[in-house]
Amino acid sequence: MSFNHFDDQGKAIMVDISAKAPTLRTAIATATVFLKRETLENIVGGTMAKGDVLGVARLAGIAAAKKTPDLIPLSHPLALHAVTVDFTSDLETGTVRVEAMVRAFERTGVEMEAMVSASVAALTIYDMCKGADKGIRIGEVALLFKEGGKSGIYQREEKP
């Protein structure tokens, strides 16, 4: 059985994972949002005009993980068992670090779901704060950790 990404004519196809055994898969991804200190103080203090920025961003990140196959054409629809989105705010650097963890008992990994989750949570922070801070930027989106499946454990050596 072939697990190629292309058919005989070179067209992209969804990888056939039907012969793979399900295993517990976990992935953690991160994204960093850079804001003015004042904007971050308002987020942390709950005084942004649009409301609870991190609460809405958490929900957006969870929903995004579940919608990954709708956004990434060749990703497989997966039954996700856990999605968490956490934030670490640093007033000194004016950053919010988004960390998304996705877990499923599946035949393929959940890296894309974690990365989409972290990305959409970061974009939601941007959307909810753009009226107060036009200079917001989103930094590196990266996979920090993954386990499960044939390739085993991956741990990013340096954190973004």
Cα(96)–Cα(80) distance, rounded to whole angstroms? 25
In a domain, 67, yes or no: yes
What's the predicted TM-score (pTM) here? 0.90
Q: What is the mean pLDDT of each run of 10 residues along the chain (160 residues)?
A: 59 84 96 97 95 98 98 94 98 97 96 98 98 96 94 81
Q: Is 154 contained in some domain?
A: no
**Domain encompassing residue 29:** 23-149
DSSP category for residue 51: S
* Residue showing tokens 């994972």: 17
Is 55 domain-assigned?
yes
Q: Convert the pLDDT of each residue in 43-77 to its tens digit.
A: 999 999 999 999 999 999 999 999 999 999 899 99
Residues 6+ apart with CB under 8 A from 69: 75, 76, 77, 78
**How many Å apart are CA 60 and CA 5, to the nearest integer?**
30
pLDDT of residue 19: 87
**Is 10 a domain residue?**
no
- Domain-embedded: residue 31: yes
Is residue 27 one of the residues assigned to a domain?
yes
DSSP 27: E
Q: Quote the distance between the C-alpha of residue 30 and its chain's center.
A: 6
Told to judge if 127 belongs to the known catalytic residues of this protein, a careful annotator would answer yes
Domain of residue 92, CATH code:
3.30.70.640
Quickly list DSSP for 56-120.
HHHHHHHHHHHTHHHHSTTPPP---SEEEEEEEEETTTTEEEEEEEEEEEESS--HHHHHHHHHH
CA–CA distance, 94 with 135 (Å, rounded to integer): 12
The structural domain count of the chain equals 1
- Residue 125 belongs to some domain of the structure: yes
In a domain, 43, yes or no: yes
Torsion of the alpha carbons at 76, 67, 97 and 125, rounded to the nearest 10: 160
Selected catalytic residue, list 70, 86, 127, 133: 127
